[in-house]
Structure 1
C-alpha cells in the first residue's frame, strides 16, 4: 500500500501542469471564449425560466385567474426556445473556431519539432506513435477540450440556475439535493484514475495499429511475393484485439459510472418527491410551485449526467495531451547555433582520432579513425556491411556525432559550426532516393533551392542526362512524380536526385551506394551523371561494387570500425591484402 501511494503521488503535479498548458493554448483566444461563454450563459438562463413558467400557468392560468396566461405563457416558451437556439449556435460556432485554431497551432508546433528532431530519434522506429500524435492525439486535445469546456461551462450554469429555482420554490427541498449530490462527484473521482490509465494504453495501441497498417501499405509487394498475408493479418488482429480490449475497459468504466451516479441522484429525487408531496398536502407548496419545483428537478438530471460523463472525456484529453506535449517539448536540433565558415568552403576534410559507439552497443562502431581528404579529391570507403562506412560518412552532416575525436572542414571543427551552415556545404546522393509528391521541377529545386530558375533546373537535368526524358513527358518539368516518385524508374529517380545535388552546387558530395540497386544500363547512365557531379568537388563514396571506385584518388578499407588499409586501386591490388581479396572475389563472381 505504501508503494502505491508513492507511485500515485507524482500524477497530480503532472496533471496540473498538463491542464495549465491546455489552458495556456486555449487562453490565447480568450476574446472568442468570453463571447462564447456569454452566449452560453444566456442559453443557460433560459433553462430555469421554462420551469418558472409552470407556476403562473397552473396557479393563475388554468384556474382562470388570468386567462391570458393560457396563450401568453406558451408563446413565451416558443420565444425562449428560439432565443436559446440562437445563443447555442453562436457559442458552439465560437468554441469550434477556438478548437480548430488550437489544433492548427498545435500541429504546426509539433511538425516544427518533428523536423528538428535528431537523426537518432527517427532510428528508434517509433513512426506509428509519431503519426498517431498528429492524427489522433492532437485532435483529441482540441475537440475534447471544446467538448469539456462546453459541458463544464454550459451545464454548470444550467445546474446552478436550476438550483436557484429549487431554492426559490423550497429551500428545504433544495438542501436535500445539495446534501446528496456531492456523492455522485465522489464516485466520479474514483473512476478518473482508471479511465486515464486506460486512455494512455489506448493511445499506445493506436500507435501500434498505425505502424502495422503503414508497413502493410509500404511493404505490399513483399507481402504478396512472399505470401505474408497470414503473418500480417495475425499482427493486425493482435493489435486490433488489444485496441478493442482497451476500448472495452474504458467503455465499462464509463458505462458503470453513469448508472451509479444516477442511482445516487435517484435516491435524492425519491426523498425530495416524498417531502414535496407532504408539503403540498400541508398547503406549504401550491400546485404551481410543486410543478415548477418538479420541472426544475427533472431538468437538472441531464446537465448533471453530462457533467458526470465529461470525466471520461477529460481523462482521454489529458492522456493525449501528455503524448503531444512530449513531442512539443522535445529539445531538437538548434540549426542556427554556432559559427559560420569563414569564406567559401574549399572542401578539405579531416577525421582526427574519431571513435563512436551507439547506445547499448557492446563495442565501438568506429575506433580511432584518422583520415584527410584534400579539396577536389575522391575518397572511396569499402568494406563488409557493418564495418562503419555509413556511420563515418553520417558524421559529416552531424546526423551522428563522434564520441571521441574531431572532424574538421577547412580546419574548422564542425561541432562548432551551425548545422544550417554546415549542411549547406554538403550534397547527398544515396541508394535510397527520397523524392516528394510534387512536380519534377519542385523536386530538383527542393527546399532553399526553390527559387532556382527554370533554366537552372533544365541545365541540372541536362547534366544528369535526364532532360530529354523530362521533355518527352506531357507536362515536362511540371509532371507530377507521385508519392516518392513511384511513377519513375530506379535509374530516373537516381538521376533526379543527382540533378538536385547538381543545382545545390555544394563543395562536398556524399555518394552512398548511389548505383548499387541499378541494372547495368541504368548504372552506366547514372555513373556518367555522377562523374559530371563529382567534378571539382570533394567526394566521399561508399560502394560495394568495386568497379565504381577504381578511379578514386584514394580507397580506404574498413573492417569492424578500423582502417585495414588505404591507397589507390593499383596500390591496393599490389599489396594483395583485404582490398585485393574483395576485388578478386567480385570479379570471379
Structure 2
C-alpha cells in the first residue's frame, strides 16, 4: 500500500483500506490458524469414533456411506450460505469506517450547522446494514445445529440397535463404549462443519488481502543506483518540458496534451488557467505522481523518469494549497530526517516572521534557548514557536491557517531548494498573510526556479513569465506585461475579470522595466 500509485488512493475509499488492515488482517493473523487446527482435531475425532463403532459392530460400516452423504448435503448448504454472508459482512463494514472517518474530519462543520442527528442516524443505519448478515450467520448456525442433532440422534439409534443385534457377540462393556462414542460423535460432527466453514470464511480475508497485494499497481522504483544523479543535483534549476502528455489512467483521456516549454535557471513562472486546465497536474508530474504518457521532463539535463523516486522527491520542494503538517512537534515537522541544527530551524522561523528578530537574537545569546521575560511569562502571551518541542496536532489543528502555511514555507527554506513548486499556496489565507508570504518568497528564493499556480493574479504579475493553460494545452507563454497589453490575450481577459486591471497593468509594467534595466 505504501508503494501504490496515488491513483489507487483517489479511487479507493479509505474505509475499504482500513477494513483490510483491521478486520481482514485480524482474521488471517488470529483466527485462521486456530480454526484450521480445530478442524483437523475434530475430523480425527470423528474418524476415530466411526472406526471404534465399526470395530465393535462391523455392520455400522454399511450405514457410514449414507451418513457421510447426508452430512455432505447439509454441509454444502451451510457452507455456501455462510461464505456469502461473511462476504456481505466484510463489504458492509467498510462504509462504517468510511463514514466515521469523514465525520471526524468534518466534525466542526457538522457542529456548526447543528446536523449531528443526521450523521448519527446515518452511522446507525450503516451499523444495522453490517449487523444483518452477522445475525443471519447465527440463524444459519441454528439451522445446522438442528439438522446435525437429527443426524446424530439417528447415529445413536443405529449404534444402539446394532449393539442389541450383536448382543450375542459382544459384552456389555464394548456395547457401552460403542454407545458413548456414538453420543460424542454428534458434537464432533457439528464442529467439523462449523470449523471448516470458519476456515473457508476466513479465507475470504486472505483473498481480499491477496487482491491488494497482487492487483495494486506500484510506483516506479525508489532507487535506481546506476542512474543516480550527482549529489548536488539540481545545481541550476533549468527545466525543459518537451511534447509532454499526461493521463491519470490508460482508459482516461489526456489531461495534458503535448505541451513544450523551457524555463531558465532562477526564473519565476506563474501557471494560470480555468478550472480543469491541468495546472495542478503539471506540478504533480514533476514529482512523478503521474508518469508521462509521452514526452519528457528534464531538470538540469536529467530526465526525471530515469532516476529513483526518493532522490527526485527529496531534490524538489512543494508548498501545497493545503499545508501538510503532522502530529508531532515543531522540530519534527520542520526537520523530519534530523538533518539540521536548532539554530538553523530558528533562523528559518525568523525568515518567515514566525519569530521576531529580537527573539531570534535572544535565542542566539541564550545558546539556542529562549528565556521568557516577565511580560512573556504567561502561557497566553508566549510565542509557541520559541520552543521547537512544542506539540503540533494532526494537520496542524492547533495553528492558524497562516501559521501552517508559514511553517511549510520555513520547512522549504531549510532545504534551500533549486526548484520550488507552489500549488495555490496562498489561496485560503488573507491578503496580509499572502503579502507576507510572497515577500518572503521573493527575498529568500531569489536564486530558485519557481513554478507557482496562481489563485490571485497579483501574486504572479511581476514574475518572469506566465504560462496560460486551457484544456491541457499551452495557449500563451510570455512576460506578463506583454500578455496583458495584447488585446487578444486570454491572460488579459483573466486580469480584466479580477476588477484590478489597472493595478495589474502598472505592476506588470514596473516588473518589465526592472527586468530590462538589469
- Whether these two folds match at TM > 0.5 is yes
State the Cα deviation string for residues 323-363 of structure 1 (Å, max 9, x = none).
11112223412222472224531211111122234448885
Query: What residue in structure 2 maps to residue 369 of structure 1?
Result: 259
Residues 1:260 and 2:172 are matched in the alignment: no
Q: CA deviation at 1:477?
A: 1.3
Gapped regions of structure 2 (runs ≥ 5): 361-369, 371-382, 502-518
Counterpart mapping for 1:425-440 below 5 A? 425-440=315-330
Q: Does 1:530 align with 2:441?
A: yes
Q: What is the aligned partner in structure 2 of residue 332 from structure 1?
A: 218
Shift of 1:227: 5.1
Q: Give the superposition deviation at 1:116.
A: 0.6
Higher helix share: 1
Q: What SS does the corresponding residue of 2:328 show, helix, strand or coil?
A: coil
Contact 2:354 2:385 in 1 (8 A): no
- TM-score, structure 1 length as denominator? 0.73
CA contact (8 A) 1:162 1:296 kept: yes
SS of residue paired to 1:306: helix
Partner of 1:424: 314
Larger mean Cα displacement after TM superposition, 264-273 or 228-237: 228-237
Aligned with 1:436: secondary structure?
A: coil
In the TM superposition, what is the alpha-carbon distance from 1:420 to its structure 2 partner? 1.9
CA 1:175–1:421: 2 relative to 1, 3 Å? same
Stretches of 4+ aligned residues off by more than 6 angstroms: none
Whole-angstrom distance in 2 between the partners of 1:162 and 1:261: 16
In 1, Cα distance between equivalents of 2:113 and 2:243: 45
Aligned to 1:344: 233
SS class of match (2:485): helix
**Residue 209 of structure 1, CA deviation:** 2.0
Tell me if structure 1 keeps the 8 A contact 2:270–2:465. Answer: yes
Within 2, Cα distance between the matches of 1:293 and 1:456? Answer: 85
Q: Measure the CA separation in 2 of the matches of 1:586 and 1:506.
A: 32
Query: Is the counterpart of residue 304 in structure 1 residue 189 in structure 2?
Result: yes
Counterpart in the other structure of 2:7: 120
- Counterpart residue number, 1:395: 285
Contact 1:463 1:532 (8 Å CA) reproduced: no
Residues 461-514 of structure 1 show CA distances to partners (whole Å, capped at 9, x for unaligned) of 333333469963399212221222211111111122122222333321111111
Correspondence for 2:474: 563
1:155-180 alpha-carbon deviations (Å, 9 max, x no partner): 23433444454455444447645752
The equivalent position to 1:583 in structure 2, one of 490, 495, 500, is 495
Greater displacement, 431-440 / 568-577: 568-577
Question: Could you tell me whether the CA contact under 8 Å between 1:463 and 1:499 is conserved in 2?
Answer: yes
Query: 2:162 aligned with 1:275, yes or no?
Result: yes
Taking the aligned partners of 1:297 and 1:240, their CA distance within structure 2 comes to 43
**Partner of residue 539, structure 1:** 450
How many Å apart are 1:235 and its aligned residue?
Answer: 4.4
CA distance in 2, matches of 1:182, 1:340: 66
Counterparts of 1:149 and 1:123, CA distance in 2: 37
CA deviation after TM superposition for structure 1 residue 277, in Å: 3.6
Determine the structure 1 residue equivalent to 2:302: 412
1:572 equivalent to 2:483? Answer yes
Write the deviation string for residues 144-163 of structure 1: whole angstroms up to 9, x where unpaired.
Answer: 21331231233234334444
Alpha-carbon offset, residue 118 of structure 1: 0.8
TM-score, structure 2 length as denominator? 0.83
Residue 186 of structure 1: how far off its partner (Å):
4.0
Distance in 1 (alpha carbons) for counterparts of 2:150 and 2:65:
15
**CA apart distance, 1:284:** 3.5
SS at match of 1:423: helix
Check 1:308–1:573 CA distance in 2 against 1; reply closer, same or farther (3 A cut).
Answer: same
CA deviation digits over 1:21-78, x for unaligned, max 9?
A: xxxxxxxxxxxxxxxxxxxxxxxxxxxxxxxxxxxxxxxxxxxxxxxxxxxxxxxxxx
CA contact (8 A) 2:148 2:189 kept: no
Secondary structure class of the residue paired with 1:478: coil
Residues 454 and 286 from structure 1, CA distance in 2 versus in 1: closer, same or farther, beyond 3 angstroms? farther
Task: Establish whether residue 149 from structure 1 lines up as the match of residue 60 from structure 2.
Answer: no
Deviations 1:70-92 (A, max 9, x none): xxxxxxxxxxxxxxxxxxxxxxx
Shift of 1:429: 0.6
